Every structure is written in C-alpha cells, then in structure tokens.
Amino acid sequence: MSSTVRLTVAQATVRFLEAQHVERDGRTHAFFAGCWGIFGHGNVAGVGQALLERSQSDDPSRLGFFHGRNEQAMVHAAVAYARQYDRLRAMAVTASVGPGSTNMVTGAALATINRLPVLLLPGDVFATRPANPVLQELEDPSSMDTTVNDSFRSVSRYWDRVARPEQLPSALLQAMRVLTDPADTGAVTLCLPQDVQAEAHDWPVELFETRVWHVGRPVPQPAELERAVAAIKASRRPLVVAGGGVIYAGADAALAAFAEATGIPVGETQAGKGSLPYDHPRALGAIGATGTTAAADAVAAEADLVIGVGTRYSDFTTASRTVFAAEGVRFVNVNVARIDALKLSAATLVADAREALEALTDALDGWRVDDAYVERNTALAQEWDAVVEASHQATTGDTRLVQSAVLGVVNETSDPRDVVLCAAGSMPGDLHKLWRTRDRKGYHVEYGFSCMGYEIAGGLGVKMAALDQAREGADDDRDVFVMVGDGSYLMMNTELVTAVAEGVKIIVVLVQNHGYASIGALSQSLGSQRFGTRYRYRTDTGLDGDVLPVDLAANAASLGADVVVASSIDDLRSAVVKAKESTRTTVIHVETDPLVPAPSSPAWWDVPVAEVSALDSTREARTTYEQHKADQRHHLAPTDTPSTAQQSEDTPR
C-alpha cells in the first residue's frame, strides 16, 4: 500500500503548488512565485490557514503570501508577473466566497484574453449545505449547484469545483496542464467550497513530489513549412507582423536573423512591441489602428504577403481589417495556437515562434526581397522617426504639457532595460506609435483587454518579477514606469499601498487631463461631441462646469508614495532622474492638455455610428463611417487558391 499524508484540502493544494516546476530550454524553476490573498469567511480558515502554516515553516520552497487591497488588482499583479516571466512562472490568488471572488472575474478575463497564466482559487459556498444560504450565497432557484463562481466559466481556460477531496488531484493536474501550455494558457479557476477547504483527507504522498512540466517548442510540420516557404518565395512585398508570441518564445534574435537574411520588414502589435529594437534596420514600428502611419501601415497597405508571428490579429492590429489593403493579399501565420494560426485564411505554421523562424530562415536559403524594397522601407522608417522626434518637442500655449512630450522625456530619461507599462486611455496608442523600445521586455502595454485599473497593480507585478529575476541572477534589476491617466488612476490606485508595504519600488507617471482624452476624441470623431467624457461640475446644461478640485497628487501621497508635481518638461526630467535614484515608490504628477493629439493616423477602427440621428454631428460621422466600412476586407479566400497578387503565368493553378 502506498503511503499517505493527512492534510486538509487547502493544505494539500498549497503543498501541491509548491512542488510544481517548469522547464524550458534546460532551465527549471518553481512555477508558483507566491499566492495573493484577501481573506473572508470563504477562505480565512481554509487556504488562509494553510498559507499561515507554511509561512511558519523554514522550508525554502514554501509558498509566499502577498496581501493585496483589491481582488481584481491582485489578479492583475499576478498576470503582469507571469508576462514578465514569459509565462514560465505564475502566481495564485485566493479570495473569499461572494464579492471577493467575483471581483476577480475581470482579472480572469484579462488573463485569458492575453493568453497569460494565473491560478484563481475563489472560495465557494458550502458543499454540504448545513445552513444555507451562507452569507453572500446566490441561491439560484433553478439550481442550488449554481454559485456566483459559475461566472468565471466563460473567462477561464479551465474551470472546476472541488466538491469532494477526492476530486482535488485531478483538478490540480488539469490546472497545471493548462497553465503551462503556451497554446492553451489563461486563467484557471478552481472553486473551493469553504467546508471542503477545511476537510481532511489521506493523500497519496506522490501527489506532493516535485513535478516538472516541460514547456516544449513544437517544430513546424515539413508540409506546412514547405507551403510557407513557397508563399514567401512567391511574394514581392512581404511583411512580418510580430505579436506577443515572439516575445514569450524568446524569438527576438531569431526574428532579427530572419529579417536580416530575407530583408523582410517587421511591424509590431502592442504585445509584440520590443520584438526588434526600434532602431533595427528592418523595424517599421507599430502596426494597425495605432500604427506608424508613414512606415508599418504604409508597407502593410501594399503588402502581398503578411507573415503573422505569434499574433492574435486583434482589430487594432488589422485596423478593423483595413490595413492589409492590397488586392489578393495572403497570410502565413506562425502560432502555437491553431485558433490564431488559422486567422485571415492563412497558411498555417502551428509551431513555436523561435523554431519556426529558424526553420524558415534555413529553408529560404538566401532568398531575399528586392534591394529597392529594402531601401524604400529603410527610408519610410526614417521618415517616421522624424515624426517621433518632433512629437517630443510639442508644446501648448499654456502651462500644461503635451502628452507626447511627456512620453518623450520618460523614454529618453529611462534606461534601455526599464519597462514602460500602460493599459487604457490615450497613452497605449501614443506609446505604440512613439515609444522607442530598446529591450525585448521593455514595453508592457496590456491591450488585449485594455483594462483601466491594470496599470499600478500590473507595475507592481512586473517589478516583483524583475526583482525575482535579479535574485535568481538571470537578469539585472530594472525600473518600471507605470503610465496612468487620471481616469484609470481613479478607478484603481489601491496597489500603491501594497507597493509601499512590500517595499517594491515602482515609478508612476500620473497624467492628469481631467477626464477621458481618449474616449473624448473617439466620441468627437463619431459625432458624439465628447459627451460624458470630462470630469466637470454639473450645471443646468450637464457635466460641463469647471474642472473638479480633485488633487490626485495629494491622494497618492496619502497612500504612502513619494510624490513630485512636475509643471514643466525640465521639472519632469529631474523628477524622473530623482525617482530612478530613490528606493521608494514615487508618483510623478503632470497636467496635460487633453486636446493636443499625438501625430494622428488615418488608420481606421470600426466603432459603429448611429444609422439614424437627430444630431447633425452624428449624421456627418455616419457618412464617414460608411465610407470606411466600404474599405473593410474579409480575407476569406482559401489558401490553396493562388493569390491574384502572386499569380503569374508560371504559377500552376
């Protein structure tokens, strides 16, 4: 008979998590870097007790505990940590039954959409139902088996409820399968009823033995490789779209080698920015709705073949399917996930990005695009760089700063390895176009879910990862610059307190423009007159009074951060230098003019305008909308018909 150990379900869960390791490229480390938590009756005596017990042991592999201030923010921090670690390490998050758990739903969606691993352990209502409804129980009249935690199902890549201790081993193993699979990863939710958490069981000891999950690098199938090579060789104006998969696979060097060998230029998505340093000769910068107008988007408009590498082709990347405008344009997609590889009717290379790029470089065997194409792309990239340079010098007529100049100062004053982080508002688009990324982990904009409130919590998670990487000797420490708008700051600034408590230093640049510059501009362009996008006093005619006497600098100081108010570009520069020298979390507050845009882009984003309206502004916007709508492409042609762009007399049909 195999030996057993008697532990509660919660204790067994924690012990199992401590024993999980991940290996890629011969490097192995513990998968879980800790467990975030906020306690209530649904987890305090279960998972909380288990974490307490481990915190009092001197076992170096014990699971650390981090106390956040908001459950959604804890998930953001955990997800950002995993992204910084290229998904090879992750964190767990425990929450109480009811609102503590549902607060995590937004974080779960963000994780799943961005294909980033996080393990969620929401407390759940009693499995034994001794005195239900327990505080915060839903009571669905059609099924007592439905709880608020069922709302995680649609946003989790794996979801389970452990109603009996015997179910735990299989639930934990399924969780690990998903968390460590690059093609399948996202939020994993294991709901733990509060009584079951505290229940003891005799577990086979093997459950807690060190287990190593090997993260492989799937190689391309020969037939897929052959088709991709044929498509590339038949192209005259190919373009790579580099997505997050390039970065997670550590395929940046392989991408550079591919681009250098073939002369094919590279545009980057939000998640893929940093795949090439901004000044790499083949780099065209950002692509899509927030793309570099003169460079990547201009090349995309004429490309006859788009090679997507590790991208999910969001509507921002494709400019709502208008940016790849050439008649008969075709796609070859490299992706570990078949769902992404198949997008836009592409020829697929279901493989790891590094493996696929190396195989393509080898198989193309010296094939190159024309010199004229290379020269033209170099000139376009230089043209765009001059636009970036000019945007750094922009000024207003008053004392307020211009956002693009703020980004320029932070970019120039930060170190190449520092990380810039953002998620929502007008800054992600500006950063995508204007930020000069110099390190493959130097750019962290969450634009899968673009979730207001991710910024500060995410910055905390990235910095925790950077500190762990430095401790492991894998990397040097780096500063994290969190760029946050006033709207996003007001939505979730809670984790400043956690950063202060943990002694984890982040630098927050708080851009105060008294409302939503982004949605304001969008609203205006759609004929909706910036309705409901400014933070103003209510008057007889609406929310159009004076700006509010809100002092976000004082707010940040009250949460324990050092605060600097910068009212000029020189002030800002010295504030950044000082914040970099400091060991404490610093918030730099700047006032900007929301009406000065960054260099604009003609690229479109499909946001439907009212088809009928009593407002002139809306009717005009609808006309423009319909004109753009006519440019939208379907990209539905099957891959086995030759593209018109590539058809020539010698191409067999």
Ligand X SMILES: Cc1ncc(C[n+]2csc(CCOP(=O)(O)OP(=O)(O)O)c2C)c(N)n1
Residue 618 interacting with Mg ion (CB under 5 A) = no
Interface with ligand X by CB under 6 A: which range of 13-21, 88-96, 450-458, 537-545?
Answer: 450-458
Q: Which is nearer to ligand X, 51 or 424 (CB)?
A: 424
What is the longest distance spanned by two Cα atoms in the chain?
82
Could you say which of 245, 487, 527, 597 contacts ligand X (CB under 6 A)? Answer: 487
Residue 358 interacting with ligand X (CB under 6 A) = no
Residue 479 interacting with Mg ion (CB under 5 A) = no
Which residues, 6 or more positions from 295, have their beta carbon under 8 angstroms from its beta carbon? 267, 284, 285, 377, 380, 381, 383, 384
Q: For strand 305-309 and strand 238-242, is the pairing parallel, antiparallel, or unpaired?
A: parallel
Residue 520 interacting with Mg ion (CB under 5 A) = no
* Angle formed at CA 18 by CA 23 and CA 218, multiple of 5 degrees: 20
Handedness of CA 68, 73, 79, 85 (dihedral sign): negative
Residue 451 interacting with ligand X (CB under 6 A) = yes
Residue 224 interacting with Mg ion (CB under 5 A) = no
Q: Which is nearer to ligand X, 488 or 528 (CB)?
A: 488
Q: Give the residue ranges of DSSP H helices in 133-270.
A: 168-179, 194-198, 222-233, 244-248, 252-262
DSSP state of 376: H
Residue 425 interacting with ligand X (CB under 6 A) = yes
Which residue in the block uniquely carries the two structure tokens 């690059």?
182
Could you say which of 513, 528, 585, 586 contacts ligand X (CB under 6 A)? Answer: 513
| Residue closest to ligand X when measured from CB atoms | 485
Cα gap 274→146, rounded to integer Å: 44
Cα gap 328→331, rounded to integer Å: 10
Could you say which of 168, 289, 517, 566 contacts ligand X (CB under 6 A)? Answer: 517
| Minimum distance, C-beta of residue 534 to Mg ion, in the bound complex (Å) | 9
At 338, the amino acid letter reads R
Q: Which is nearer to Mg ion, 342 or 543 (CB)?
A: 543
Residue 519 interacting with ligand X (CB under 6 A) = yes
| Minimum distance, C-beta of residue 596 to Mg ion, in the bound complex (Å) | 13
CA–CA distances in Å: residue 357 to residues 115, 246, 251, 259, 352: 21, 10, 8, 10, 9
Q: Which does 8 bind (CB under 5 to 8 A by kind): ligand X, Mg ion, none?
A: none
Could you say which of 86, 486, 495, 593 contacts Mg ion (CB under 5 A)? Answer: 486
Q: Which does 275 bind (CB under 5 to 8 A by kind): Mg ion, ligand X, none?
A: none
Could you say which of 190, 452, 563, 572 contacts ligand X (CB under 6 A)? Answer: 452
Helix (H) or strand (E) holding 457, with range, is helix 454-471
Chain-centre distance for alpha carbon 522: 22
| Minimum distance, C-beta of residue 407 to ligand X, in the bound complex (Å) | 11
Q: Which is nearer to ligand X, 147 or 523 (CB)?
A: 523
Chain-centre distance for alpha carbon 476: 23
Q: Which is nearer to Mg ion, 191 or 552 (CB)?
A: 552
| Minimum distance, C-beta of residue 599 to Mg ion, in the bound complex (Å) | 19
Q: Which does 13 bind (CB under 5 to 8 A by kind): Mg ion, ligand X, none?
A: none
Interface with ligand X by CB under 6 A: which range of 208-216, 250-258, 516-524, 579-587?
Answer: 516-524
DSSP state of 642: P
The string of DSSP codes covering 324-373 is: S-STT-EEEEEESSHHHHTGGGPEEEES-HHHHHHHHHHHHTT----HHH
Could you say which of 98, 485, 527, 597 contacts Mg ion (CB under 5 A)? Answer: 485
| Minimum distance, C-beta of residue 595 to ligand X, in the bound complex (Å) | 11
Q: Enter the tokens of residue 205.
A: 């000891």
Q: Give the residue ranges of DSSP H helices in 526-568.
A: 552-558
Query: Cβ distance 74 to 93 under 8 Å?
Result: yes
Residue 513 interacting with Mg ion (CB under 5 A) = yes
Cα gap 159→153, rounded to integer Å: 6
Q: Which does 519 bind (CB under 5 to 8 A by kind): ligand X, Mg ion, none?
A: ligand X
Could you say which of 427, 460, 464, 466 contacts ligand X (CB under 6 A)? Answer: 427
| Minimum distance, C-beta of residue 563 to Mg ion, in the bound complex (Å) | 18
Q: Which is nearer to Mg ion, 31 or 454 (CB)?
A: 454
Q: Which is nearer to ligand X, 232 or 452 (CB)?
A: 452
Interface with Mg ion by CB under 5 A: which range of 22-30, 202-210, 225-233, 485-493?
Answer: 485-493
DSSP 3-state assignment of 188? strand
CA–CA distances in Å: residue 541 to residues 383, 517, 523, 528: 46, 21, 18, 16
Cα gap 569→402, rounded to integer Å: 9
DSSP 3-state assignment of 465? helix
Between residue 226 and residue 285, which ones bind Mg ion under the rule CB under 5 A? none
Could you say which of 243, 245, 442, 485 contacts ligand X (CB under 6 A)? Answer: 485
Residue 424 interacting with ligand X (CB under 6 A) = yes
Q: Enter the tokens of residue 487.
A: 């709207």
Residues that bind ligand X (CB under 6 A): 424-427, 450-453, 485-488, 513, 516-519, 594
Residues that bind Mg ion (CB under 5 A): 485-487, 513
